[in-house]
Structure 1
Amino acid sequence: MKTTDKTESVVLQPVPMEERKSWLDVALIQAGILICVPSLMLGGMLAQAMPIGQAILSGVIGYLITALLMVAVGIIGSDLGVPTCVVASGSFGQQGSSKLISALFMISMIGWFAVQNGVCGSAFSNLLSQAFGFELPVAVSTILWGVIMLITAVYGINALDKLNKFAIPALVVVTCIGCVMAISRFGTAALSEPIAQTMSFADGVVLTVSFMATGALNAPDFTRYQRTRRDTFLSSVIGVMPAGIAMLVLGAVMTRIANQYDISLVFCDIGLPVLGMVVLILATWTTNTTNAYSAGLNAVMVFGLAENKRSAATVVLGVIGTALAAIGIAGYFEAFLYLLGDMFMPIVGIFLIEYWVLAHGSVKFYQPRDGWHLNGFIALILGFASTRLPFGVSFVNGMVVAAIVYLVLESILRRKQVN
């Protein structure tokens, strides 16, 4: 299926094989999601709460876990050729997926857009003030960048592909230069200074996995453009691990030696404000366009829109996200991360059981369900409740409980159908 439209040609239907992309194209999109100020903030949070070695190791383990989950969930997308909101219809039913699950996805992506936009607006205003003495209200900066980032998101996967091919190599080079210059300027003595530990190693892993919870769950939004399972593995692991770890280490090191996780402001401190501005703009742009894009995909499901209305839905949701950012939602960043992990990791467990166990990992045995599939919702509710248990690891509790409950309920249902 070919199209002369600049926007992508498919939204909810399986992506034709001739329109699928190389693993490197999708890996760059995945990397672009992670190269952002909040990824640096994650490293800063961990470095302020525990010794830097533990901070980095807990983050690396968290990223490894989420990369493997992205592979397992992403292969469902590449096998079926459909986004997450359609994958969910197998576990929650088409009505359940479109009216509730997709609504949750949509709200989360609007929230991520708001968080990213708010952080970007604040950092941009601070950069202008410190480097050039120009005072731009944060709300104005937030609105400005919200509009700019929406432009790319409207045009879909093809625009994301082109943006990331240019932006990611540039960001890697510039941030490496900035890190070396910052270490030269501030030294490394602060890295070995003792710090009061306020977060356990396990909690550091949980925070990192929670940070990536939405990315793991929404992997099919992008892996549906992969031709093979091998492509999905490569794009997920190579797209997530190097970029995620680099941002983690950079944020942790900058926080400890410069008392500032934001590399754009570190550039300002070492006398290179223009490079700092370039990093801030490109990093937020490559990330937030994907948030608005995924929100638009889910809006098509939630509101029963025609597929060619995705662009309009993306604009409307992006405007809402920008408004939320302007009123300060970014201030609730850490609590937002934990909530996402607790809410979405049980769904990941349900997806894995539905496709890899019940459907034997085969498109032939995978069938979307009509209406509302209550087994999925019962498993989700119990999985979410288990994240509040006073023992274990919250996201593990949620995934395992939801997966076991779903498997048991489905086994009972299928036994009844046979009888």
Structure 2
Amino acid sequence: MTARKGFLNLLTVSLGYVFVVTSMQAGGNIGAGLNFKDTVLATLLSSAILAVLACAMGVIASKSGLSLGLLSKFSFGKAGTYVPVAIVVVTTIGWFSIDAYLIGQSTNTLFPIIPIVPIAILGGVGMTLTAMRGMKWMTYLSNLAVPLIIIFGAISMGLAVHSAGGVSGMMAIPQENPVDFGQAVAWGVGSYAVGAVMFTPDIMRFAKNAKTAVIVMIITMMLGNTFMLLSGAIGSVVTGTPDVAIMLSMQGLLAPAFLVLVLNIWSTAQGCVYSGSMSLNSVVPKVKRTWLVIGFGVIGIIFALVGFYNYFGTYIDFLSSTVPPLAGIFLADFLVTYKRDYPETENVELPTINIAGFIAWIVGFLASKIPFGMSVINCIIVAFVVKAVLGMVMGSGAKKKA
């Protein structure tokens, strides 16, 4: 409890995660496929779904003090936890690589003489170094980046609405490549599903109580995440491109916003490295986290150089169907299997593989493919119900040590 943090400290770190340029990119995809009214509704609905996920995970983490990696051990077993941790690792490396590439691309867009590759490498190295410093440095950077991105995001939206002739003008702009409303919501959820479900425990285990965790996550998702999605969506509707660097350049904002853009990308990317290394450290505790952070940075830079950025749409589709079921599983364990009281890990022998967790995850994933209702909601509810029932029937699988 002596390591718990205050409300403002947690809020700035949490907003530093969610104020991410890749969310603007996802918002850009939504804005390019829906009319203005549906764009606003889709972003609000996706943020509300993310808020529910994040609040649930925040309450679990604040009450248990457990990181994602340790929660996964209870739900999937000592060896089984490698699977959700692997998703965190691949996902955080993926986000990191996109962020590193965006730093290079933004620099190249503003200064065409400077190639993307060396700047992407330098950005990746710098982001890795600050992530090695942990929560304290992440807080400093978030305190600087968050207010600035709010200012420039608001300016970008204001210019876009003004150039379109107001809200009525925005409403009248046709969509060249319309998409299904449910697909747009899935993009919005997928853009930060990993953050809501998998990053939240690593941050909110520092919360002094569940109330603090809930308030922080509601503000983060309903205000922060919605703001970022709409920033990208509104700009995309007017400029015709979901590409953030090109969008800001067309609005004449890239030069004044360049440092802000880099700071924003930086604060999010270091969060990816921090959470990813924390999760991996839970399954390989003998390896120093410093070496894990360095490994993340190196692999992330390689991903950036081989063009992972080009698979952005497919990537968030994958995340929107595989990550949300995990929240249902963790919540079922917390409420039903362990009845809000996880045992001390040193006092119990956890199963090598918890079959119930994997059954619930697979069934939840399959539920996301059912052409009925909202896929992201279906998979959460189904995963929760399946894990709760299996937990009551099969038990936790944990045995007290002699």
The alignment's TM-score, normalised by the length of structure 2, stands at 0.90
Please tell me whether residue 228 in structure 1 is matched to residue 196 in structure 2. Answer: no
The residue type equivalent to 1:162 in the other structure is: Y
Distance 1:177 1:67, change over 3 A: same
Residue pair 2:350, 2:397 contacting (<8 A) in 1 also: no
Q: Does 1:151 align with 2:129?
A: yes
More moved, 279-288 vs 185-194: 185-194
Corresponding residue for residue 188 of structure 2: 208
Structure 1 Cα separation of the partners of residues 129 and 160 of structure 2: 33
Counterparts of 1:394-413 in structure 2 under 5 Å?
394-413=375-394
User: Partner residue of 1:84?
Assistant: 68
Alpha-carbon offset, residue 328 of structure 1? 0.5
Give, in whole Å, the separation in 2 of the partners of 1:368 and 1:123: 50
2:293 to 294, 301, 314: 314
Structure 1 pair 299–415 and aligned structure 2 pair: CA distance change class (3 A):
closer
Partner of residue 73 from structure 1, selected from 39, 57, 60: 57
Q: Which residue among 98, 101, 125 is the counterpart of 1:115?
A: 98
Q: Is the Cα–Cα contact under 8 Å of residues 387 and 398 in structure 1 kept in the other structure?
A: yes
Aligned ranges 1:229-378 → 2 under 5 Å: 229-261=210-242, 264-306=245-287, 309-363=288-342, 369-378=350-359
Q: Which residue of 2 aligns with 1:3?
A: none
Shift, 1:379, TM fit: 1.7
For structure 1, which segment, 277-286 or 387-396, has the greater mean C-alpha deviation from structure 2 after superposition? Answer: 387-396
Q: Distance in 1 between matches of 2:236 and 2:396?
A: 56
Please give the alpha-carbon distance, in whole angstroms, between the structure 1 residues aligned to 2:192 and 2:67: 17
**Using the alignment, how far apart are the partners of 2:67 and 2:298 within structure 1?**
23
In 2, the alpha carbon distance for the partners of 1:207 and 1:182 equals 22
Instruction: Determine the C-alpha separation between the residues in 2 that align with 1:78 and 1:110.
Output: 26
Q: 1:182 to 1:279 in 2, by over 3 A?
A: farther
Matched, 1:386 2:372: no
Of the candidates 41, 48, 69, which is equivalent to residue 32 of structure 2? 48
| 1:280-312 CA distance string (max 9 Å, x none) | 201101111111111111221333434xx1122
Equivalent pair of 2:4/2:206 in contact (CA under 8 Å): yes
- Which segment is superposed worse, 406-415 or 154-163? 406-415
Tell me, yes or no, if the aligned pair for 2:64 and 2:341 is still in contact at 8 Å.
Answer: no
Structure 1 pair 138–187 and aligned structure 2 pair: CA distance change class (3 A): farther
- Counterpart-to-counterpart distance in 2, 1:146 and 1:64: 32
1:191 Cα deviation (Å)?
Answer: 4.6
C-alpha distance 58-296 of structure 1, shift in aligned 2 (>3 A): same
How do residues 158-197 of structure 1 correspond to structure 2 at under 5 angstroms?
A: 158-181=136-159, 183-184=161-162, 187-188=165-166, 189-196=169-176
Distance 1:226 1:204 in 2: 32
- In the TM superposition, residue 396 of structure 1 has moved relative to its aligned partner by 2.6
**SS of residue paired to 1:96:** coil
1:3-49 C-alpha deviation (Å, 9 max, x unpaired): xxxxxxxxxxxxxx122111222222221222222111112111111
CA distance in 2, matches of 1:144, 1:408: 50
Q: Secondary structure at the match of 2:29?
A: helix
**Structure 1 residues 389 and 267, CA gap change in structure 2 (3 angstroms):** closer
CA contact (8 A) 1:154 1:312 kept: no
Hey, what does 1:9 align to over in structure 2? none
**8 Å Cα contact 2:36-2:170 kept in structure 1:** no
Secondary structure of 2:323's counterpart equals helix
Aligned-partner SS, 1:226: coil
Where do 1:12-51 residues align within 5 Å?
Answer: 17-51=1-35
- What is the number of residues matched between the two proteins? 393
**Partner deviation per Cα, 1:49-76 (whole Å, 9 max, x = no partner):** 1101101111111101111210111111
Instruction: Determine the C-alpha separation between the residues in 1 that align with 2:222 and 2:354.
Output: 35
Letter of the 2:65 partner, please give it: G
Equivalent residues of 1:43, 1:251 under 8 A apart: yes
Q: Judge which range, 202-211 or 115-124, deviates more.
A: 115-124
Per mean C-alpha deviation after superposition, the further-off stretch among 150-159 and 116-125 is: 116-125
Distance 1:270 1:400 in 2: 42
- Aligned-partner Cα distance in 1 for 2:301–2:159: 34
- Of 78, 84, 108, 1:125 maps to 108
- 1:300-328 per-residue CA deviation (whole Å, 9 max, x = no partner) reads 1333434xx11221111111011101110
1:190 shift after superposition:
4.9
Letter of the 1:28 partner, please give it.
Answer: T
User: Structure 2: where are the runs of 5+ without partners?
Assistant: none
1:102 aligns with 2:85: yes
RMSD of equivalent CA atoms: 2.5
